[in-house]
Structure 1
Amino acid sequence: MKTKKRKASKGLWVWLLVPVALAGGAAAIYFTADTSPSGENEWVTYARAQIMGDPQSQYIKAIVADTGKDRNEAEAIKWYEKAAAQSHVPAMMGLADIYDRKGDAASFRLAAHWYGEAARGGDGRAQYQLAQYHAKSLGGLKPDPVKTAQLLQQSTDAGYGPALNRYAEELKGQGQLAEALPWFQKAAARGDMNALYSLGEIYADPLSGDLASPIRAVTYFEEAANMGHVLSQLKYAYLCLGGQGVPRDPAEAYKWAEIASHTPDKTQKQAALEVRDYLRTKITPDEQRRGEVRAKAWLKTRG
Structure 2
Amino acid sequence: MADAAFAPSALPDALRLGLAELAVSDIERSIAFYEAVVGLRTLDRASGVATLGGTGGSAVLRLVETPGARPKPKEAPGLFHVAILLPERRDLAVVLARLVRNRVRIGASDHLVSEALYLDDPDGNGLEIYRDRPKAEWPYRDGALRMATEPMAAQEVLAELSPGADLDAAMPAGTVVGHVHLQVGDLAAARSFWIDAVGFALTTTYPGALFMSAGGYHHHVAANVWSSRGRGPAPEGSVGLRSFEAILPDANALDAVAARLGARGVPSLRAERGLTATDPWGSTIVFVAP
TM-score (norm: length of structure 1): 0.20
User: If each structure's helix is expressed as a fraction of its own residues, which one has the higher value?
Assistant: 1
The structure whose RCO (Cα within 8 Å, separation 6+) is larger is 2
